[in-house]
Structure 1
């Protein structure tokens, strides 16, 4: 499963900072991950570390380059007025399976701290809708992520 997620992220184009940030799917992905991490109003180190781990492993980046991508995602999320700004970029770059895989990645971020908050669940529901991922695939992705975390807590509200 993790290999499939990493493969998905590797397929996103690398723009090396030369393309407009708003059109960079790596920045859009980082921004959405940041958004779901922050949805419950509590930034958990485990969630933040998971985002950096996924992005770093996927793009074989570390240090300053990883920090730049994470910071660009955080900045883009703060500047955006809605989630569509990011989901529209991903919709242009991903096929149906890639969109489902991205939802799986977001669930991994949510469950990095072992707790599902209703605001995180709602955020994933909205992102999945904007990406055209149906409810069944979203729920299966959530269940898979929860199974990987012994003692995961939280009851999803949008099933």
Structure 2
């Protein structure tokens, strides 16, 4: 399984097909979001409802595409050996603004259930570090997610 995931990301680098490449990039982002969802060992109903919306917003994809991407990310999730596999793809293809939007989405997922578990915090901080975001950006994005959470309540 791990070999299959490594092959998948190698093909991403070798694939000239823009549609396949875009799908692979989106899959990497979806896998990162799922890491936050499963950090506390369970999928909360609010997280399950928010995840497709965040994928639509972050990646600019349709609802049906978001649902399919989530299903595929769930299947691939256990094959990953490290977050670096996902963040390296994101670093290669996302702009700074897109990276920030992805980390903001991660914070939003983490705060959806009303509390931040330490594992969610660790994953987001590690991803932000691997995405070369500054600590000040990380804190700004976290604060924006908290503000949105309070606004939605």
Q: Which runs of 5+ in 1 are unaligned?
A: 1-12, 152-159
CA-based RMSD: 2.3
The equivalent of 1:43 in structure 2 is 43
**Following superposition of structure 1 onto structure 2, how do residues 118-129 of structure 1 map, counting pairs within 5 Å?**
118-129=118-129
Task: State the alpha-carbon separation in 2 of the partners of residues 115 and 138 from structure 1.
Answer: 18
Q: Which runs of 5+ in 2 are unaligned?
A: 1-16
Task: State the alpha-carbon separation in 1 of the partners of residues 140 and 126 from structure 2.
Answer: 16
The equivalent of 1:92 in structure 2 is 92
Q: Deviations over 1:90-113 (max 9, x none)?
A: 001112222122111111111122
Bigger mean CA deviation after superposition, 107-116 or 123-132:
107-116
Q: After TM superposition, give the deviation of residue 41 of structure 1 in Å.
A: 1.2
Q: After TM superposition, give the deviation of residue 56 of structure 1 in Å.
A: 4.2
**Following superposition of structure 1 onto structure 2, how do residues 4-153 of structure 1 map, counting pairs within 5 Å?**
15=19, 18=20, 24-56=24-56, 58-62=60-64, 65-150=65-150
Query: TM (normalized to structure 1)?
Result: 0.75
Query: TM (normalized to structure 2)?
Result: 0.77
Could you list the structure 1 runs, at least 4 aligned residues long, displaced by more than 3 angstroms after superposition.
Answer: 18-21
